[in-house]
Structure 1
């Protein structure tokens, strides 16, 4: 089976996963023990029969469950996400998602980038120099980073940056580029406005948005960084002990070619699912980090909707998260086909 057929098969397999996850969300939200109509009304409004029935009618709960399910699913899959009830009454959810999602994507992008481009190289470096001082330092660092809770690290880093002029000798708010709103708050991504190439054509705004998100990204990616450092070291040690490495040495393959062509590339294969599984954790962890750093992203929106009981919005955001996770899964499959040439050529 070719790589394209393999990827096509994986795409088709994601369809029932999306359907099942969305169906379970509908059942829990609209057929669960909590009445969505009563939940979005105050106690006094709930006692008003007319208001209660109007809310049920607007939510579609007065219709047969199957009809409501099909209508709700059709709206989601045509990207008609409805409106909010409690957080931003009457606001269109599509507009909210387009406003909040880029901040979470920006945070997740830098979190994964920090974890991958710091954790994996240090792990590989330690694995290539096993039982040396560098190996011990990298291993201990990985354990320490992995053990630090995100909420603790977020508070400590926030306190450090707020008092950076006193403790570090420079003011973080004015370092390289001014941040008039301080350490916390939203990264200003409006300059892109649907133009991703503005990341390159407007470097000043990109630098400001990057500086704004880096503290939160460091906190969010810290646990993943330590985990990938440890697993990368183990993967290199296991790859070095394989017989084909001894054969390559016997054939006179140079040390550089041995490391880059054989050891590192094969050590990346077991890291692919680790990286993508950490990306799932980053989506969930963004709720806490966004709240601490005042970033109004999807995690913050989901948290507020759940706390205030806006169940229809919770269900819609769950659909968005399911789609994001499926996209990460597909990205994992693409990485597999790039790193390991054997993927996609097995017999069906």
Structure 2
């Protein structure tokens, strides 16, 4: 089977997975304990409850609601918000809130990749040394700390940084910003500003809306959100390097006189990345799901916060739309994982499937 044939087959096989996940979402949303009509008009008006249920179609047979829901999702008709912003399309709300979550997830992934993996590889290449013990202990500690606990502790420390660290105040460092606040992403309005006018990215209105201000605001939340993934990647990277460096083909390369640098870069690192692929691709959904807690603590006001508010207020179309998006992200992340396997490990190929 050709590469593209296999890829197309994977896309086809992903359809029943998406259908099953969307069905489970419908069951949880429609049969849950929260009454959306009561969330809209309250429990004190029976006639109003009946009218709202009729207007929203909640008095229709469940099978008919299910068919309409599935057709709407798979035609990307995500519906309108019932409670959060009545009458506003769910798509518009997602587009409005998503940039802050993407900004948070981007830096969280970078922290995990460029801190966790290098530390893990360093520990694996230098086993049983002080650096190995330090990196391993740090990875265990970061992995063990719950996100919500670490977020609260970090907010408390940064808010009172002037008391804990003499002469240093996080809120006034470089650019004055609050610790708990959503990042201002106005600099994205001019994505070429770094080339045409670099000051637009660093200084705009006293720091408000600049790249540096947005980075500073999101940094604490990104550290918290990426901490668990960073510890995971460090531990798995260390184990993968140790297994690879003691493998037979590495010993054969040494016997042939291949330099240590070539062995590390051409054999050890590339093969050690293989077990890290599912960890890295799996972070796509974990970061979005985990951002619900982190965004709540740091008041990021992104997709995670939107999902939390929609669930609390029984905004069923918005909850269903967000869950459908999360399912699509998870499924396509798994397909991307297979593509990465073939790029990293030439022994894995679609032709063998």
TM-score scaled by length of structure 1: 0.90
The equivalent of 2:7 in structure 1 is 7
Residues 151 and 200 of structure 1: CA distance in aligned 2, closer, same or farther (over 3 Å): farther
For residues 55-81 of structure 1, the C-alpha deviation after alignment (integer angstroms, 9 at most, x for no partner) is: 223322343434332322222233322
1:173 maps to 2:178: no
Segment drifting more, 272-281 vs 291-300: 272-281
Q: Take 1:174 and 1:334, find their aligned partners in 2: how far apart are those partners?
A: 45
For residues 202-246 of structure 1, the C-alpha deviation after alignment (integer angstroms, 9 at most, x for no partner) is: 532222222211100000111111111111100000111211111
Residues 249 and 345 of structure 1: CA distance in aligned 2, closer, same or farther (over 3 Å): farther
1:185 maps to 2:190: no
What is the deviation of 1:34?
A: 5.2
Residues 98 and 163 of structure 1: CA distance in aligned 2, closer, same or farther (over 3 Å): same
RMSD across aligned positions (CA) = 2.2
The equivalent of 2:283 in structure 1 is 278
Q: Take 1:187 and 1:6, find their aligned partners in 2: how far apart are those partners?
A: 41
For residues 156-211 of structure 1, the C-alpha deviation after alignment (integer angstroms, 9 at most, x for no partner) is: 211222223343332323333x244x111111124425x76567765322222222
1:295 counterpart (289, 292, 300): 300
The equivalent of 1:130 in structure 2 is 127
Decide whether the 8 Å contact of 2:3 with 2:351 is kept in 1. Answer: no
**1:127-276 equivalent positions in 2, closer than 5 A:** 127-168=124-165, 169-176=167-174, 178-180=175-177, 182-193=178-189, 202-204=200-202, 205-276=210-281
1:344 maps to 2:349: yes
Decide whether the 8 Å contact of 1:7 with 1:333 is kept in 2. Answer: no
Q: Take 1:64 and 1:98, find their aligned partners in 2: how far apart are those partners?
A: 32
Decide whether the 8 Å contact of 1:107 with 1:217 is kept in 2. Answer: yes
Q: Take 2:191 and 2:148, find their aligned partners in 1: how far apart are those partners?
A: 32
The equivalent of 1:23 in structure 2 is 23
Residues 106 and 265 of structure 1: CA distance in aligned 2, closer, same or farther (over 3 Å): same
TM-score scaled by length of structure 2: 0.89
Mark the runs of 5 or more structure 1 residues left unpaired by the alignment: none
Segment drifting more, 14-23 vs 266-275: 14-23
Q: Take 1:258 and 1:35, find their aligned partners in 2: how far apart are those partners?
A: 62
